[in-house]
Structure 1
């Protein structure tokens, strides 16, 4: 949606004109899955599918509406607290709350019209983008002076304490700190970022299985606790600090499922570091090997894949122009990510779409994306 279209939609919904626009991208994680809550390494890229907001300050209450999912619950941004609003409006309300908690200043009430071209339920972090798009908005309206890294940390706090999802920091950092043309190697402990340019002859392709993600809170929390148990047995602060040799030496002291969860995390951290070098060197063979090994580890050791994700990955591995592919996101549905040679994308798309349809009985969808800048006030 262009800014002019967003302005018109705002006027039709609220009357009058918006005074401020903001934008925040979704993200695709190239490698480094289920490592962020183990203090590990991840490799996301902000992508050119975004959430856009047009807004203006009002006396109150705050009213938010989405072109895609309709009106959210109204709330008082100046005094909102956890548990007082549900549904998708919890994300803007939570950002108003966390910014008030951090700054000591109540946030002004707003009317906001939201439009998104992010595919929902595909593992591209629409929730983090929603947090950041409102974070930059209130940060600007109240002249709080927070940088995007700070807003990402506050976005995670919003999701953990207000929305009630115990996520890591990767999604908010990716949406906040994206850089045009590059993916980011993120150390989730120090929050240090090293940008790595994605070769211009490659596309980042989201391969949507059209099976909604279904990683339940209980399955997610179970894996977190298994990782914590492994770290305790290994005597390390987090699995990021463990080596494969250490893990093997303690294998008999932990249940097999705990060992396998830990093996995924420890080896995925190694793969993420090797991927950084391979991307910098345009070593496409190594990139492909690392992405495939990541998928297989998520399938076999972490057990968060599913039939549809496996079939999509297998179709991509066999397709013309594919450098590498793997499941991305939390798992149990959603999407795979593939790095594909730009000149071969049409052949890749035709092959993967046909093969996945024949093997799964589902019509998947492919989306070619490119890396973009992070959340910001949107000026045309």
Structure 2
């Protein structure tokens, strides 16, 4: 959960680390002893399928949360957030950890640590400083990046018996139960387990993951609409309840357990809006598996078709897009044709689009957005060119 949106080139990362260490030293009186990081992510396809036990196809990106840390001999945790004007938080591991009344970022830290304790892990306190360049509120999982970074920090600092997947699950539990957003497992899992040069085809029921090599001839462009995602938490929870209603009515553990054909044949059992929500989830999960195969074979025409269908489904069935993003997707789709794909990515109601295209089309796409997006919508886009990156670990 950070505001710093500088580009993640090596010199910028070094400057982030330098500033992080400076704030740490000013706050705690000595330099940190260790550093950890966890990346944000972009989801190439498969939206709102994760909490329905379906498939997703994200990749970790080269924007990340950074943590500087020194262990303490007592049970106190002290934290300073560089990107929030050096706000500080302090709490004891010996007392019940409750939510902070006014600092939202603090609750992600508190929640992760509390849920580590609830899992039976025993550890002492720490001095922490946090910064990052994952754009906040853009659908690139700044919150999951923070959760995984904190989990990975304590895992490494105190040699906790946790796998990377368990770090991810702990972060999801903290967001679900402590922060109160009913997210699925995708964001935390790819932040923890991402791989350089690869996307991750994730089965959100079994947590089995297959690395899908990203074709070298294709660029990944993220376009931030800069439409604030103000409704995302409440609407996200509503969509989840609607999906659970559909599954319950049809006698399923989750929407993962029905095919598109069978869902259609049971259409009359569901309220119209609930059917459309389910239709998106089931169809997008099926599209995700096909998209992974298309990436494997560098079938850009198929990938283009699948991404276009995914966006239409999010717009019409799941109703989570906004006019500004629909406009941007329309003009980029016309520009790319069957040479690339574009769709909204993330929870919806604003945020980002993801586009996959040959490198020689990137500059034209930038120029098109610069010429038409703000003129049509009144919003100024921000564009990031990303690469698939490693998951969480020590720096």
Q: Name structure 1 gaps, 5 residues minimum.
A: none
**Superimposed CA distance per residue, residues 263-311 of structure 1 (whole angstroms, 9 cap, x where no aligned partner):** 1111111100110110101000000000010000000000011111111
Task: Between 109-118 and 216-225, report the one with greater CA deviation.
Answer: 216-225
Aligned to 1:324: 341
Write the mapping of 1:10-159 to structure 2, written as runs, cut at 5 A. Answer: 10-58=24-72, 59=74, 61-70=76-85, 71-83=87-99, 86-105=103-122, 107-159=123-175
Matches within 5 A, 1:85-234: 86-105=103-122, 107-234=123-250
Q: Which residue of structure 2 aligns with residue 375 of structure 1? A: 392
Q: Distance in 1 between matches of 2:138 and 2:327?
A: 16
Moved more, 316-325 or 13-22: 316-325
Alignment counterpart, residue 295 of structure 2, candidates 279, 296, 313? 279
> Contact between 2:121 and 2:160, CA under 8 Å: does it hold in 1?
no
What is the TM-score when the length of structure 1 is the normalising length? Answer: 0.95
Summarize the Cα distance change of 1:80–1:95 in structure 2 as closer, same or farther, 3 Å threshold.
Answer: farther
| Unaligned segments of structure 2, at least 5 residues | 1-12
Aligned residues: 377
Give the superposition deviation at 1:199. 0.6
Q: CA RMSD in A?
A: 1.7
CA contact (8 A) 2:20 2:82 kept: no
Tell me, in whole angstroms, the C-alpha distance in 2 between the residues paired with 1:145 and 1:216. 34
Give the one of 342, 347, 360 matched to 1:343.
360
Alignment check: 8 A CA contact 1:207 1:337 kept: yes
Give 3-state SS (helix, strand or coil) of 2:340's partner.
Answer: strand
Assess if the C-alpha contact under 8 Å between 1:324 and 1:338 holds in 2: yes
| 1:313 equivalent in structure 2 | 329
Map 1:250-265 to 2 at 5 A.
250-265=266-281
